Structure 1
Amino acid sequence: MTTTAALPPDTGAGSQDAGAEASATWTAGLRALLPDFRGRLTEGAALGPRTWFRVGGAAEVLLQPADAQDLATCLTRLPPDIPLTVLGACSNVIVRDGGIDGIVIRLGRGFSDIVVEGEGLVVGGACLDMTVAEHAADAGLKGLEFLAGIPGSIGGAVAMNAGAYGSDTAAVLDWADIVTRDGNRVRLSATALGFGYRRSALPAGSIVTRARLRGTAAAPADIRQAIALIRESRESSQPTRARTGGSTFRNPDAALSNRKAWELIDAVGCRGLTLGGAQISEKHCNFMLNTGSATAADLERLGETVRQRVRERTGVTLDWEIKRIGRPAAPPTTGDAP
């Protein structure tokens, strides 16, 4: 499908005016494709302040749809060759310093409703996990306390089967409503989502708009006490007040190692390791920190340094749990070539 919203060509260094003109043409074409869009469309939206690490470049275009129907209409009309990136709470993501080309979709207020439905909650994809845990306590629904220990949103929890403190999303999910890349609205059961350890079989390019999570009746005071214990545990063992992104690496398969990721990192002497403004936490060495001046490149290089040391010294290859998206910053120019 050819439209006026096709991405502009790479104009190369020294062609900033041409690049700006091409970008303006592209975004004008995008607006023409979405004449009845009810959400917000922002060109050059800064993403760094929206991430927990507080690093990263801008989105070429940020779309924040008003509701699920608005999202479905957008996806129906957007040509399949336009790059599309979905961001949630940005708690486990590094946006690279060059930003993200194409369209970034982020769900907002229209996806944050929480409704009690029998012994369960129907929650929007943008709801923070902690907020859902608190609402479950208010409703006297036990079994969702573990969400208080996960820094993210429900959409991300479904997509990666987020878990902590002895439970995970797969254990409590009845169904999830999604919008596919071609704009279809579909409801998927937990079985259809094919959950595994920190993964699901969510169709590529689809977006979770809401989900039903089940619990069991219990005294609200007891549930709140359990949530308080989880918060206390997190505070004592993780750098929760720092600029961080949650667990950096997945724990290796038990067949490869009987040690968790943090134990392997600690064993090779990486606790407290620094690179630029990035640091491996002294408190929990499967967490990276932005000490205040880090770039996305600092964080990613530090993570890769840790992976290399663990691989060389233990034979175990750690897999990233944090997603790294976007493009690196362009190298600095050194003047005109002779």
Structure 2
Amino acid sequence: MASMTLIDDIRGAAPALRGRLLANQSLADLTWFRVGGPAEVLFSPADEEDLALMLGALDPAIPVTVIGLGSNLIVRDGGIPGVTIRLGGRPFGSVEIDGDSIRAGTAVPDMRLAKSAAEASVDGLAFYRGIPGSVGGALRMNAGAHGGETTDVLVEARGIDRFGNLRTLTHAQMGFSYRHCSAPDDIIFTSALYRGRPGNREEIEAEMDRVTAAREAAQPIRERTGGSTFKNPDGAKAWQLIDAAGCRGLTYGGAQVSEMHCNFLINRGGATAADIEGLGEEVRRRVRETSGHELHWEIKRIGVTADAA
């Protein structure tokens, strides 16, 4: 198999590699939609140094893809060619707090980051309680909710580039805008430094409770979903445009526009990645025709279609 050949090539180029390499590994169970094809090779580095070693040794022609918790992600049915990297474990999953400064690994779930900050009476990060992703994804997307965004609290981000070099980017170098950052695409973030402000633990936890209640009341969080599907266009709300286009409850194969919140797509059971992406494209078409607005995907779509594979 080509995937085993690739693993042999990687281990030959980096014999000191300590992380786990898996061939033809299914990714469906690693995404919240529970759909998608396999990774040609899935790599779980032992730590930051191991990640740098692998990237530095890898043939530059081999594509590299990074996935996190899979909450805001569609992996297409044909899978992902090349090397897919997923960070985890203590080296990428720790949270360290010093005063009002917090350093978190990029595998840390956003909700855990919010909880850790609250327990240390650090205010300003409670909005992360409403984001079902990880720190790494939050950096890439300038994730935000309930009046707060990553750009409001980030000091710097640390990562490894495609050639195995350690990089540290300041807040200014991240180039944040709405649901976007301008950091080089080849950097795999490994940790982030945040600065909050002194606060009252009980008040912060009360705010987090309000965020949780609002999310549970308005979003289909118990479904197989990928979170907010489309970015809000300037001066408009994506869900309102989708509703006005008559898409609430719309189905496409095994996928459906949520009845509860129509900027969420759900896997009703048995959906393929093509069903979900096709439904999203149909929603975009109907919104364009009825309102003139062009919806842009907030959910990341990666990999190749089944036909391409």
Q: Same fold (TM over 0.5)?
A: yes
Out of 299, 304, 327, which is 2:281 matched to? 304
Q: CA deviation at 1:141?
A: 0.4
The separation in 2 between residues aligned to 1:103 and 1:237, in whole angstroms, is 37
The residue that corresponds to 2:141 in the other structure is: 160
Matched residues in 2 for 1:116 and 1:27: separation? Answer: 38
Give percent identity, aligned residues only: 52
Contact 2:158 2:189 in 1 (8 A): yes
Q: Distance in 2 between matches of 1:312 and 1:155?
A: 35
Q: Deviations over 1:269-328 (max 9, x none)?
A: 000001111000000000000011111010010000000011111111100111111111
2:248 maps to which residue? 271
TM-score for both structures, normalised by structure 2: 0.97
Are 2:46 and 1:66 equivalent residues in the alignment? yes
1: CA distance between counterparts of 2:249 and 2:238? 15
Query: 1:169 & 1:188 partners in 2: Cα distance?
Result: 14
Matched-pair contact (CA < 8 Å) for 1:127–1:153: yes
Say which SS state the counterpart of residue 173 (structure 2) adopts.
Answer: coil
Shift of 1:236: 0.1
Helix, strand or coil at the partner of 1:294: coil
- DSSP-derived class of the 2:46 partner: coil
Deviation, 1:237, is: 0.3
Report if aligned partners of 2:7, 2:21 keep a CA contact under 8 Å in 1. no
Whole-angstrom CA distance in 1 between matches of 2:112 and 2:184 = 26
Secondary structure of the equivalent of 2:172?
coil
Structure with max Cα Rg: 1
Give yes or no for the alignment of 1:34 onto 2:10: no
CA distance in 2, matches of 1:25, 1:219: 55
The answer to whether the aligner puts 1:138 opposite 2:122 as a matched pair is no
TM-score by length of 1: 0.89
| Consecutive unaligned residues in structure 1, runs of 5 or more | 1-19, 333-338
The number of residue pairs the alignment matches comes to: 308
Matched, 1:25 2:2: no
TM alignment of 1:65-144, pairs within 5 A: 65-109=45-89, 110-144=91-125
Deviations 1:224-263 (A, max 9, x none): 1110110000000000111000110000023xxxx20000
Question: 1:280 aligned to 234, 248, 257, which one?
Answer: 257
Do structure 1's residue 227 and structure 2's residue 208 form an aligned pair? yes
1:321 aligns with 2:302: no
1:202 aligns with 2:183: yes
1:170: how far off? Answer: 0.4
Q: Deviations over 1:89-135 (max 9, x none)?
A: 11111001111111001101120010012212110011000000000
Change over 3 Å in CA distance of 1:106–1:331 after alignment to 2: closer
Change in 2 beyond 3 A, CA 1:294/1:251: same
Residues 209-220 of structure 1: matches in 2 within 5 Å?
209-220=190-201
Q: Deviations over 1:191-243 (max 9, x none)?
A: 11111111111112111100111111112111111101100000000001110
Amino acid at match of 2:166: R
CA contact (8 A) 1:181 1:204 kept: no
Structure 2, unpaired ranges of 5+:
none
User: Contact conserved, 1:193 with 1:202, CA < 8 A, in 2?
Assistant: yes
Q: Is the 8 A contact 2:3 2:41 kept in 1?
A: no
**Distance in structure 1 (CA, Å) of the matches to 2:185 and 2:303:** 17
Mapped to 2, the partners of 1:31 and 1:68 lie a distance apart of 17
Measured in 1, the distance between the counterparts of 2:3 and 2:156 equals 40
How far, CA to CA, are the matches of 2:251 and 2:271 in structure 1?
A: 10
Match of 1:53 in 2: 33
SS at match of 2:40: strand
Runs of 4+ in structure 1 off by over 2 angstroms are 22-27
Q: CA deviation at 1:51?
A: 0.1
Kept in 2, the 8 Å contact 1:129–1:151? The answer is yes
